[in-house]
């Protein structure tokens, strides 16, 4: 469907080349159509009426008044909503099935829960109708205070992670350590806030359903919808060629999307439902708060002897999603004794779900700050301390790494940043304008994952190919990198490849989540392309009329739409000639992707990196500015360095946001989020990150998958938040262990070098 706009000088293969985004012009000219851009004939508008309480029940809705408003077509409530073939609270063996709020009853479980849907001829009519419903409630005291909940041991993400794991006798190792630290770090609730809010345009045609909605997992979404409405999976078509950001909360079908489908069935007409910004704070997932206690022990020379990482998180009262923050400590630093434990509390909130680098982002903030504190306690440079405790094998599992170029990341990042000569003590650097300057660093890591996927490639008699895979592009560049992989596997120029993605009626492309989208869909496409080439080779080498007759598979190469002998490239023929002689108009190849059981069982597979941060702090106001970020990352084979750098930079910016800005504020009286908008829920703008640099470190991984590629989408955040926090300490001497680090925390915190036990003071003024 898309062909490249232009191609840099890529030589025989575009893989590894900085090819421009294929969809770039479509996006900047407005030709790329997102979900809410669709307007089928006869379309109605649906608007959610959301609860203003966090716990209780709806006692009254003024349906008559809302229905009487001009332009309102109908009001959908628990009393008249279409029924389901499968109850939305039921779960199955899929750990990614979560309960939905879709007007099952009058109970309210969190603020912003949908309590009714108003459908109108215009958006204005539906919006006014929702206002006129004027819900009344029987309200209970909301339980939204993280520290007030009763903790229990959770089943972390449907059993994907054991809540408690250990190796060695941690308590003995800690008690005998020459140097110890014990510190608690807190991270807040955060919300995805993608540029594109959740939206759906739903159309029924009998028992066939067509949906335009952003999706990071078309196959999972299609199956979920079919199950709820009792449909054959093939009768559900989801179209999602473009997403305006997902970050995890578009991986699973949410309640508001189901409500849009219900509204279309309720009215018998196409319906569009788009969430307002504040309505995304509740029913579509978020990152839960954490409180993490790190206890580290070390020998006098700085050798780590123990890591104990306890994480407390929160979930809703009605479902189970728990951040596995402690698991990060399994894989980074060499020690013989490790313990990670998790517990949780239940709150009157929407269920937290996957958010960029789930578990790893909050876990790395805590661990990287603790490692910095231990380096200080051992009187070592933070980089030297990390190198001293470099893990040659994965500490918890004992498995060798499939590849690990973290030393090179440390070296290249430190050299580029100018880390050598950094004063060890805090508050030693001041710039010309009198601002305190601090340098900090953090180690970045993220597991290299892969899901199941399928792909189909059709090579036509004109020498061009169509590649079909239900993959997803949420801005990371899949339209481009998947086409590069396809062209490379087929031995074609990129201009000869037509890529079809973003539809559920294509072969299932797996999930664009867990930084696994390219590895998953790309591997399936790679195998499908190789299948086509293998068929061509078989046709040519077994045909007496071909110059490749009896050349054998090992003696044939595919390049530039042509097969030729490897020992004599002049002897060969084009794909078109081979097909024409065989009387074929096309060849179809199929490919699959699945995690390699041997590699997964025998190796620890991770991407790695190192991030170095410079901050400047106003000593009178406490205002913090990040002035420089340099990250160096190793993630196996890089398909497109231009787009890889873009992903790394995006992750690093999110790390700045995590460390300094993002947090949801809940009203303890009502349980409502108080900053559910982009004016008060702060995320970085250009002025917040003036200098960014991402270095791509070469790495070859022969085990992780057929392409040797690892995920790059989430690793950038895991080193950056800790690096910024550590730089703030280095600038001020104040260790703030709670994200985000805001100026009030600096002004009213005690310097970390204070030992007299005095009350907190306005330390920056001292």
Q: In terms of domains, do 628 and 660 share one?
A: yes
| Cα distance between residue 228 and residue 328, in whole Å | 36
Q: In terms of domains, do 525 and 431 share one?
A: no
Alpha-helix runs per DSSP H in 438-516: 478-490
In Å, what is the CA distance from 33 to each residue of 22, 23, 29, 243?
A: 15, 11, 11, 9
Nearest to 342 by CA among 381, 308, 313: 313
The answer to whether position 515 is within a domain reads yes
pLDDT on residue 747: 85
| Cα distance between residue 639 and residue 636, in whole Å | 10
Q: In terms of domains, do 90 and 113 share one?
A: yes
Q: In terms of domains, do 420 and 442 share one?
A: yes
Structure tokens at 436: 């305190």
The answer to whether position 64 is within a domain reads yes
Q: What residues contact residue 727 under an 8 Å CB cut-off, 6+ apart? A: 438, 439, 440, 613, 614, 615, 626
Q: What residues contact residue 415 under an 8 Å CB cut-off, 6+ apart? A: none
Nearest to 651 by CA among 643, 665, 535: 643
pLDDT on residue 403: 97
Q: What is the CATH number of the domain that holds 576?
A: 3.30.365.10
Structure tokens at 752: 């970390």
The answer to whether position 153 is within a domain reads no
Residues in the chain with pLDDT < 50? 1-11, 753-762
In Å, what is the CA distance from 336 to each residue of 306, 308, 393, 536?
A: 7, 12, 11, 54
Nearest to 710 by CA among 763, 759, 647: 647
Q: What does residue 449 show for φ and ψ, rounded to 5 degrees?
A: -110, 170
| Cα distance between residue 540 and residue 553, in whole Å | 10
The answer to whether position 546 is within a domain reads yes
The answer to whether position 309 is within a domain reads no
Cβ-contact 46, 260 below 8 angstroms: yes
- pTM, two decimals, is 0.95
Query: Rg of the Cα trace of the chain?
Result: 28
Please confirm, yes or no, whether 714 is among the known catalytic residues. yes
> What DSSP letter does each residue of 107-162 carry, written as one string?
EE-STT-EEEEEEESSHHHHHHHHHHT--EEEE------GGGS--B---BGGGTB-
Task: Give tens-digit pLDDT for 139-163.
Answer: 999 999 999 888 999 876 656 778 9
In Å, what is the CA distance from 79 to each residue of 84, 116, 265, 711?
A: 13, 10, 15, 46
Q: Which residues pair with 465 in a beta bridge?
A: 459, 497
Active-site residue identified among 106, 128, 323, 714: 714
Q: In terms of domains, do 538 and 662 share one?
A: no
Task: Give tens-digit pLDDT for 200-251.
Answer: 999 999 999 999 999 999 999 999 999 999 999 999 999 999 999 999 999 9
In Å, what is the CA distance from 219 to each residue of 197, 455, 486, 500?
A: 21, 13, 21, 15
| Cα distance between residue 210 and residue 212, in whole Å | 7
| Cα distance between residue 282 and residue 349, in whole Å | 7
Segments forming the whole domain that contains residue 721: 399-449+601-765
Sheet containing strand 107-108, strands side by side: 107-108, 56-60, 136-139
Q: In terms of domains, do 444 and 502 share one?
A: no
Boundary of a domain, candidates 531, 564, 594: 594
H or E, element range at 372: helix 360-377
pLDDT on residue 7: 32
Cβ-contact 470, 499 below 8 angstroms: no
| Cα distance between residue 599 and residue 605, in whole Å | 8
Q: In terms of domains, do 489 and 476 share one?
A: yes
Cβ-contact 161, 341 below 8 angstroms: no
Count CB atoms within 10 A of the CB of residue 40: 14
Bridge pairing between strands 497-500 and 271-274: unpaired
Q: What does residue 378 show for φ and ψ, rounded to 5 degrees?
A: -90, 5
pLDDT on residue 5: 35
Boundary of a domain, candidates 538, 567, 594: 594
The answer to whether position 489 is within a domain reads yes
Q: In terms of domains, do 641 and 751 share one?
A: yes
Q: What angle do CA 543, 547, 551 make, to 5 degrees?
A: 75
| Cα distance between residue 522 and residue 512, in whole Å | 11
H or E, element range at 28: helix 24-28
Q: In terms of domains, do 624 and 564 share one?
A: no
The answer to whether position 174 is within a domain reads no
Question: Scanning the structure block, which residue is given the tokens 């959908």?
Answer: 76
Bridge pairing between strands 72-76 and 304-316: unpaired
The answer to whether position 328 is within a domain reads no
Q: In terms of domains, do 493 and 431 share one?
A: no
Q: In terms of domains, do 718 and 682 share one?
A: yes
pLDDT on residue 756: 42
Boundary of a domain, candidates 280, 299, 332: 280
Question: Scanning the structure block, which residue is given the tokens 């279309």?
Answer: 264
pLDDT on residue 751: 65
Q: In terms of domains, do 504 and 562 share one?
A: yes
| Cα distance between residue 223 and residue 217, in whole Å | 10
Number of domains in the chain: 3
Count CB atoms within 10 A of the CB of residue 152: 10
């Amino acid at each position: 469907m898309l062909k490249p706009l232009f191609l840099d000088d890529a030589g025989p293969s575009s893989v590894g080349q900085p090819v421009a985004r294929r969809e770039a012009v479509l996006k900047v000219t407005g030709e790329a159509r997102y979900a809410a851009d669709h307007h089928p004939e006869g379309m109605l508008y649906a608007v959610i009426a959301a609860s203003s309480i966090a716990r209780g029940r709806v006692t009254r809705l003024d349906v008559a008044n809302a229905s009487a408003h001009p332009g309102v077509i109908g009001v959908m409530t628990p009393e008249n909503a279409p029924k389901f073939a499968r109850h939305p609270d039921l779960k199955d063996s899929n750990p990614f099935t979560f309960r939905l709020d879709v007007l099952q009853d009058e109970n309210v479980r969190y603020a912003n829960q949908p309590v009714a849907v108003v459908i109108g001829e215009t958006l204005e009519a539906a919006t006014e109708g929702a206002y006129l419903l004027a819900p009344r409630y029987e309200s209970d005291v909301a339980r939204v205070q993280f520290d007030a909940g009763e903790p229990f041991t959770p089943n972390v993400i449907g059993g994907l992670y054991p809540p408690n794991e250990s190796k060695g006798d941690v308590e003995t190792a800690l008690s005998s350590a020459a140097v110890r630290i014990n510190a608690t770090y807190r991270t807040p609730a955060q919300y995805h806030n993608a540029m594109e809010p959740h939206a759906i345009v739903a159309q029924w045609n009998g028992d066939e359903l067509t949906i335009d909605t952003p999706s990071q997992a078309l196959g999972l979404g299609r199956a979920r919808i079919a199950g709820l409405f009792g449909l054959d999976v093939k009768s559900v078509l989801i179209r999602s060629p473009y997403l305006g950001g997902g970050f995890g909360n578009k991986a699973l079908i949410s309640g508001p999307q189901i409500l849009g489908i219900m509204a279309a069935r309720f009215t018998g007409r196409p319906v569009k439902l788009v969430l307002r910004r504040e309505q995304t704070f509740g029913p579509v997932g978020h990152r839960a708060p954490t409180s993490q206690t790190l206890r580290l022990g070390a020998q006098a020379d700085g050798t780590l002897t123990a890591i104990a990482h306890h994480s407390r998180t929160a979930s809703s009262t009605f479902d189970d999603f728990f951040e596995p923050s402690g698991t990060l400590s399994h894989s980074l630093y060499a020690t013989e004794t490790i313990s990670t434990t998790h517990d949780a509390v239940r709150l009157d909130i929407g269920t937290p779900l996957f958010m960029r680098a789930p578990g790893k982002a909050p876990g790395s903030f805590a661990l990287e700050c603790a490692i910095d504190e231990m380096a200080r306690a051992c009187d070592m440079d933070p980089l030297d301390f990390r190198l001293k405790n470099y893990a040659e094998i994965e500490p918890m599992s004992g498995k060798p790494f499939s590849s690990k170029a973290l030393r090179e990341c440390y070296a290249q990042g430190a050299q580029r940043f100018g880390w050598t000569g950094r004063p060890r003590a805090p508050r030693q650097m001041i710039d010309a304008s009198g601002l305190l300057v601090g340098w900090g660093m953090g180690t970045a890591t993220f597991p290299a994952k892969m899901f199941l996927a399928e792909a189909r490639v059709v090579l036509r008699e004109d020498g061009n190919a169509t590649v079909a895979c239900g993959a997803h592009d949420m801005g990371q560049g899949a339209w481009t990198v998947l086409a590069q992989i396809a062209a490379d596997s087929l031995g074609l120029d990129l201009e000869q490849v037509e890529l079809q993605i973003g539809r559920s009626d294509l072969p299932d492309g797996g999930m664009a989540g867990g930084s696994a989208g390219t590895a998953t869909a790309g591997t399936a496409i790679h195998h499908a392309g190789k299948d086509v080439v293998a068929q061509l080779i078989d046709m040519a080498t077994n045909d007496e009329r071909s110059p490749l007759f009896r050349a054998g598979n090992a003696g044939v190469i595919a390049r530039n739409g042509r097969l030729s002998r490897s020992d004599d490239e002049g002897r060969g023929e084009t794909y078109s000639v081979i097909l024409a002689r065989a009387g074929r108009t096309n060849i179809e190849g199929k490919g699959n992707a699945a995690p390699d059981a041997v590699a997964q069982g025998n190796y620890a597979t991770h991407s790695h990196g190192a991030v170095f941060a410079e901050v400047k702090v106003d000593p009178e106001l406490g205002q913090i500015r990040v002035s420089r970020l340099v990250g160096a990352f190793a993630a196996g084979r890089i398909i497109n360095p231009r787009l890889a750098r873009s992903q790394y930079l995006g992750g690093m910016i999110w790390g700045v946001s995590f460390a300094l800005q993002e947090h949801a504020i809940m009203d303890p009286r009502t349980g409502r989020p108080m900053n559910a908008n982009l004016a008060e829920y702060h995320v970085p703008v250009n002025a917040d990150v003036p200098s960014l640099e991402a270095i791509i470190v070469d790495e070859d991984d022969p085990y992780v998958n057929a392409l040797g590629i690892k995920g790059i989408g989430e690793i950038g955040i895991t080193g950056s938040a800790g690096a910024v926090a550590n730089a703030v300490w280095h600038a001020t001497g104040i260790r703030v262990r709670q994200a985000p680090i805001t100026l009030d925390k600096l002004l009213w915190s005690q310097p970390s070098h204070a030992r007299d036990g005095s009350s907190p003071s306005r330390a920056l003024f001292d």
